[in-house]
Amino acid sequence: MEYDVIIAGASFAGLAVAAQLRGKRVLVLDRKPIGTGQTSACGTLVSTLRALQLEEAILQVHDQLVVHTPGRTYVYPMPEPFCTFDYPKLCHLLWEQGDAEFVQVPALGLEGQHVLTPKGAYRGRVIVDASGWRAALGASLRPELVRRDRLNFGLETTLVYQDDGLHFWYDPRGLLPMGVTWVFPIGRFSRIGVGSYLGDTRLIRTLDRFLDDLGLQRDGIHGGYFPYELRDPVVDDLLLVGDAAGQCLALTGEGIRPALFFGTHLGRLIRDALDGNLPLDYVKTQYRELVLARKAGYDLLTRLQRLLPRMPMPVVQSLLALVRQPPILQRAMRRYIRAFALPHPEEYIRHHASRSPYTAGWESGNGAALPPSASFPSHQSEDVRG
């Protein structure tokens, strides 16, 4: 049997693609059951979940971001509320929006239009790699696509601990050089973790020290790698999305909102092509341009991730205080939020009836035109982190 679309990966990005393809012959492959294998703190904008009709998964709403540094704490009121959510529930809600077939099997590689698995090969007209940072299909075509020196790493535990707001602790000279720690409350509990900007996996002792400062003890862990540099989202005829395309943001580590944003738009593009409204080659072109239009923001966060830990703490604190000023904070947050804003389905339908949002006139999240010289990083370049 030939499928219209085969999607490798059943987390945020892959499920967002599948949700847009109801009525098509879609196969989703993953080595784990849907809704298992959580690796993130599961926080995003309320408006993102509202646009995708996923509000039922929300556990707690937060209207402020709190950054702790040695001796000083900075509170940032958010122009739009963030939330923490239930990972299994959100995955199942997304899954129910589509009608794809699911096979629990890892995707091992790609040969032409066939996805190779331990259970045999599956053929698809369109193939999407949403398999996470390993990019199982993309790496089989282009081994240099995945660079270990472009990965962050985080560990997290969930404990009884109540608070309000999303909290980050930043102390590169103390607890964690080149990294950050966090507390994301989810009602009676909180997800508490540590992340290394160097991709250091030896974080258990650091996590335990951080928990000890909070008067807590670890009870199980989850986590993993997450990329911080965009990869080419189109390799030959393969479409990559989410962490497979390096769409997680540097510095903040936010990957859920980009995964849902790009996954939703990619799914709509594929649907239009399958309906005969777009040629398949046009899907590749427009999807790559959609990603490239946000590359400047990704590059900025990558530079900040590399530079901030090397700055003297008084300089960092001065910057944090400056950003807290209402005009600066509002402008910065508007740009950050708009970059991955999703319209409500009804708004999308009305807009799509007049013109496709994937034509050359489509704006990036901050209204900037696609830079004519924009391109994805060469994977032969030197590591400049030092």
Domain boundaries along the sequence of the chain = 2-149+227-354
pLDDT value at residue 365? 38
Q: Which two structure tokens, joined as six digits, stand for 218? A: 């670890």
| Nearest by Cα to 94 from 226, 263, 243, 244 | 263
SS3 content of the chain, % helix, strand, coil (to 5): 35, 25, 40
Statement: residue 376 has pLDDT above 90: no
Question: Percent of the chain having pLDDT more than 70?
Answer: 89
Tell me the per-residue pLDDT of 295-315, one tens digit each, with 9 for 90 and over. Answer: 999 999 999 999 998 899 999
Is the pLDDT confidence value at 352 over 50?
no
Q: Which string of b and e fits 56-86 if b means at least 16 CB within 10 Å?
A: ebbbbebeebbbbbeeeebebebeeebbbbb
On the question of pLDDT at 353 being above 70, the answer is: no
For residue 123, give the DSSP letter.
Answer: E
Is the predicted pLDDT of residue 66 greater than 50, yes or no?
Answer: yes
In this predicted model, which residue has the larger pLDDT, 58 or 354?
Answer: 58
Reported as a pLDDT band with limits 50, 70 and 90, residue 378 is low
**Alpha-carbon span 360 to 329, nearest angstrom:** 31
Using one digit for the tens of pLDDT, what is the confidence trace for 236-285? 999 999 999 999 999 999 999 999 999 999 999 999 999 999 899 999 99
Q: Which CATH number fits domain 2-149+227-354: 1.10.3720.10, 3.50.50.60, 3.30.465.10, 3.30.420.40?
A: 3.50.50.60
Give the C-alpha separation, 142 to 338, whole Å.
32
- The span from the CA of 137 to the CA of 112, in Å, is 11
pLDDT digits 0-9 by tens, 156-168 = 999 999 999 999 9
Q: Residues 338-355: what's their mean pLDDT?
A: 59
Q: Which of 26-40, 79-93, 366-380 has the lowest mean pLDDT?
A: 366-380
Single pTM value for the model: 0.90
Write down the pLDDT at residue 172: 84
Which residue, among 108, 140, 135, 133, has the nearest Cα to 122 in the 3D structure? 108
Q: Is pLDDT at 386 greater than 50 in this prediction?
A: no
Query: Which residue shows structure tokens 């901050």?
Result: 366
Q: What are the distances in angstroms from CA 158 to CA 20, 87, 162, 166, 363? A: 32, 13, 11, 15, 39
* Model pLDDT for residues 213-241, shown as the tens digit of each residue: 999 999 999 999 999 999 999 999 999 99
Token couple for 248: 């997680």
Q: Specify the range with the lowest mean pLDDT, choosing from 6-20, 113-127, 328-342.
A: 328-342
Q: Does pLDDT of 384 surpass 60?
A: no
* pLDDT average, residue stretch 87-107: 98
**High-pLDDT (> 90) share of the chain, %:** 83
Q: Which of 20, 19, 84, 15 is nearest to 55 (CA)?
A: 84
Whether 120 contacts 214, CB under 8 Å: no
pLDDT-derived band of residue 175, with 50, 70 and 90 as boundaries? confident
Query: Has residue 370 got a pLDDT over 70?
Result: no
Pair of tokens at residue 274: 């399958």
- Give me the pLDDT at residue 145, please: 95
Q: How many whole angstroms separate alpha carbon 184 and alpha carbon 162?
A: 9
Q: Please give the pLDDT value at position 117.
A: 97
Which of the four pLDDT bands, split at 50, 70 and 90, describes residue 374? low
| Closest C-alpha to 122, from 135, 136, 103, 138 | 103
Mean pLDDT of the chain: 89
Q: Token digits for 33? A: 């059951």
Q: Which amino acid is at 69?
A: T
Q: What is the mean predicted confidence (pLDDT) over 343-368?
A: 41
Q: Is 178 in contact with 156 (CB distance < 8 Å)?
A: no
**In sequence order, which residues have a C-beta less than 8 Å from that of residue 207 and are 6 or more positions away?**
155, 156, 157, 192, 193, 194, 218, 221
3-state SS, residue 270: helix
On the question of pLDDT at 324 being above 60, the answer is: yes
Distance CA(75)–CA(166), nearest Å, equals 10
Contact 133, 231 (CB under 8 A): no
